């Protein structure tokens, strides 16, 4: 009992040790025959090559902080997973710079599930948000866990899409797990904990510092078989996640967009650099080293359900309308439908809220 | 004088000879020491390996058709360029299946100028049309000749953009040059003849048959250093042009678009197959084996001129609006401008016809 408590305290100390790499933690644990409470023996510490801050911390741990960590772990139900534990995520273990320890709220098993990262802009277009959500739902139904960073925008849409499909999702956090960042995602974080996991390498009490986010990003891409970037400006943090994924030998996927849209620039840059261009969720699955289980949660659907309700002529008309406003004359020319038919179909589509009448006798599609 | 007339008649006969490859024409001319009027000698014809239709035609030419060709050549000012002539376009000479002869109206020299093909859908979106025109203008200013197929839609926009910039453009036709196809492009064809060339391998009187268009496409891509596809559906003829360009070792460029736009599908397919993703005209120049002349016709501009007139906050607002409708609240969040400012700026943009008020308090950009 006492030994178990000592082991827990030692694990909390190791998890909080600054500048301790996974390789160093593994060497430490090897040196003590897997008994973490022995790592503080001066003989052990002397024998190993550690960075000065790690040596100093292990030589004289911050007892107050560690006591607070242990209290929070017990109260919250969070777990510490060390890189030497059997349930440390194997994909993450492969990357260079893998974290020595993770704090986890929720399912530790989710971290070992086949994952796809969905990342992107914090202020996406409505279409980008919809795409992230729909793709995430598709991946979840296909049996993939959707991993992201709990940020506003595309990250949140990815988590939500997976949850809505009844799937599993992992959020990698840039702050300690005792605080949800951003705060408005508290309810989302609670759902993620219940249907996946919240994970951080930063000990409880850590603020969401700017420098944390690139570190968080390496865990997002490191946990995942591949990373899909949905919308990203040219200098987006999502491009860091994508670069780290590529460096770790993982697939990078990007969704293209209009050359006039600033939020497509980052994705286009990635495609120019070799990322796979993705038009549908199935494009991702076919590239990944992952096969869809025989009986996925629900049947994967390539299109959002409401699209199926339209009959052919209406679909043709919406296709002809495209994504830029057009006049009835243009639509007649494109569809070969009679102009009276086009006019009445447009009226019905307008009443359904699918099309809007614009100045100059033009009609525009409402996404 | 008589010899010159005989040579002209012989050239017209050779140009009209069916199933005669460039290599066979070159062998014929070699056998007769460059004197075309001698190719009809039975001894010459017997000595060469010709397809049956070519042998039959050269053995007994259709005198009425050739007389009509000669009359048309004289009346129209059209020229015949044989593959053995020094002004046969050198890029085209390199492709397999190069035509033995071309009919040309306008500048034969234009065919030897460095060219970029711009091709795409016959029923593009207004944005696609604008993009083709703006890119063509940019290429023309940079000193490239813009080559396309005189078709409706993207082809026409490419020709027009080059002409508007004071540049040169080449139209490769799928019918005889005595008839403009499509007929509504008669005025455009006249401008192209005056500032470039109209070219066809089909003799005068040839109808625009379906089978002609893939043949025409090989000349478009064959004349050009590279082929840019602007908008194309998944089964577009433009993809044939792109494939032929790639097979001829030329660069293929494609402009991405929304994954929800059917006219982006063809371009996305090309990018997946290795085409270069293009966001701006400069992307193309940097890939081509072509350097911008020291003093281009006019200074290349990367943005259409009207964009420059907007001041920064309006630009920021339009950027924030993106290409999907958004509410004032969303725009405030994206721009950090005060909501009253956003509302009044939207009103001004609406009055300028740049933005439209949509149902649900949303605003949409008008391209």
Which tens digit of pLDDT belongs to each residue from B282-291? 999 888 867 6
Task: Pick the residue from chain A with its C-alpha nearest to B280.
Answer: A259
pLDDT-derived band at B221, boundaries 50, 70, 90:
very high
Round to whole Å and give the CA distance between B291 and A151.
44
What confidence tens digit (pLDDT) does each residue in B49-73 have?
899 999 999 999 999 999 999 999 9
As a whole number, the mean pLDDT across chain B is 89
Give pLDDT tens digits for B164-192: 999 999 999 999 999 999 999 999 999 99
Phi, psi torsion values for A120, nearest 5 degrees: 170, -165
- The answer to whether the peptide bond before residue B182 is cis (omega within 30 degrees of 0) is yes
CB contact burial A7-43 (16+ within 10 A = b; e otherwise): ebbbbbbbbbbeebbbebbebbbebbeeebbbbbeee
Note whether A125 contacts B334, CB cutoff 8 Å: no
Alpha-carbon gap, residue B216 to B149, rounded angstroms = 8
CB-based contact A289:A225 (threshold 8 Å): yes
Asked if the Cβ–Cβ distance from B325 to A280 is below 8 Å, we say: no
Residues of A in contact with B257 (CB under 8 A): 256-259, 323
Give pLDDT, residue A312: 73
Residue A359 Cα, gap to closest chain B Cα (Å): 7
**Contact status of A126 with chain B (Cβ, < 8 Å):** yes
Contact B118, B134 (CB under 8 A): no
pLDDT at B358 (0 to 100): 74
pLDDT value for B367: 67
Q: Which residue in the set B256, B353, B358 is minimally distant from A259, CB to CB?
A: B256
Q: What's the DSSP call for residue A99?
A: B
Give the span between the Cα atoms of A339 and A346, in whole angstroms.
10
Distance from CA of A233 to the nearest CA of B (A): 11
Please list every residue in chain B whose beta carbon sits closer than 8 Å to the beta carbon of residue A263: 322
B274 shares contact with chain A (CB less than 8 Å): no
Query: Cβ of A121 under 8 Å from any chain B Cβ?
Result: no
pLDDT of residue A311: 66
ipTM above 0.85, yes or no: no
Which pLDDT value is given to residue A1?
67
How confident is residue B301, by pLDDT bands cut at 50, 70 and 90?
very low
pTM: 0.77
CB spacing of B259 vs A356 below 8 angstroms: no
Q: What is the mean pLDDT of residues B76-96?
A: 96
A199 three-class SS: strand
More confident: A343 or B360: A343
Whole-angstrom distance, CA of residue A215 vs CA of residue A98: 10
pLDDT at position B310, please? Answer: 53
Please give the interface size between A and B, counted as residue pairs whose CB atoms are below 8 Å apart: 119
Token pair 């993770």: residue: A102
> Which residues, at least 6 apart from A125, have a Cβ–Cβ distance to it below 8 Å?
A231, A261, A263, B322, B323, B324, B326
Q: What is the pLDDT of residues B33-46, one digit of tens each?
A: 989 999 999 899 88
Identify which of A276, A254, A274 has the alpha carbon closest to the alpha carbon of residue A265. A254
Q: Low-confidence residues of chain A, pLDDT below 70? A: 1, 289, 291-311, 323, 351-352, 359-360, 367
């Amino acid at each position: 009992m006492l030994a178990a408590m000592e082991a827990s305290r030692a694990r909390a100390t190791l998890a909080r040790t600054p500048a301790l790499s996974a390789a160093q933690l593994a060497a430490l644990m090897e040196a003590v025959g897997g008994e973490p409470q022995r790592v503080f023996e001066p003989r052990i510490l002397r024998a190993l090559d550690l960075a000065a801050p790690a040596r100093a911390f292990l030589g004289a741990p911050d007892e107050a902080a560690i006591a607070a960590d242990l209290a929070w772990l017990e109260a919250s139900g969070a777990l510490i997973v060390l890189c030497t534990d059997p349930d440390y995520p194997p994909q993450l273990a492969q990357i260079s710079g893998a974290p020595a320890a993770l704090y986890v709220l929720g399912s530790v098993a989710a971290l070992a599930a086949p994952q796809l990262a969905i990342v992107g802009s914090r202020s996406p277009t409505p279409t980008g948000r919809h795409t992230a959500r729909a793709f995430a739902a598709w991946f979840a139904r296909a049996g993939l866990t959707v991993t992201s960073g709990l940020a506003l925008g595309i990250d949140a849409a990815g988590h939500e899409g997976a949850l809505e499909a009844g799937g599993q999702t992992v959020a990698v956090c840039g702050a300690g797990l005792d605080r949800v960042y951003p705060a408005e995602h508290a309810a989302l974080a609670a759902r993620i904990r219940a249907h996946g996991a919240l994970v951080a390498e930063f000990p409880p009490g850590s603020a969401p510092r700017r420098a944390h986010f690139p570190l968080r990003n390496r865990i997002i891409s490191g946990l995942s078989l591949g990373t899909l970037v949905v919308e990203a400006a040219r200098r987006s943090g999502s491009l860091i996640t994508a670069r780290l994924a590529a460096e770790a030998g993982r697939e990078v996927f990007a969704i293209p967009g209009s050359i006039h849209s600033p939020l497509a620039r980052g994705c286009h840059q990635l495609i120019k650099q070799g990322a796979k261009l993705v038009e549908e969720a199935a494009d991702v699955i076919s590239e990944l080293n992952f096969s869809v289980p025989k009986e996925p949660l629900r049947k994967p659907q390539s299109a959002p359900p409401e699209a199926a309700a339209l009959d052919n002529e209406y679909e043709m008309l919406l296709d002809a309308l495209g994504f830029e406003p057009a006049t009835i004359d243009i639509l007649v020319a494109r569809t070969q439908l009679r102009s009276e038919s086009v006019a009445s179909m447009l009226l019905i589509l307008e009443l359904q809220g699918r099309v809007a009448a614009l100045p100059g006798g033009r009609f525009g599609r409402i996404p």
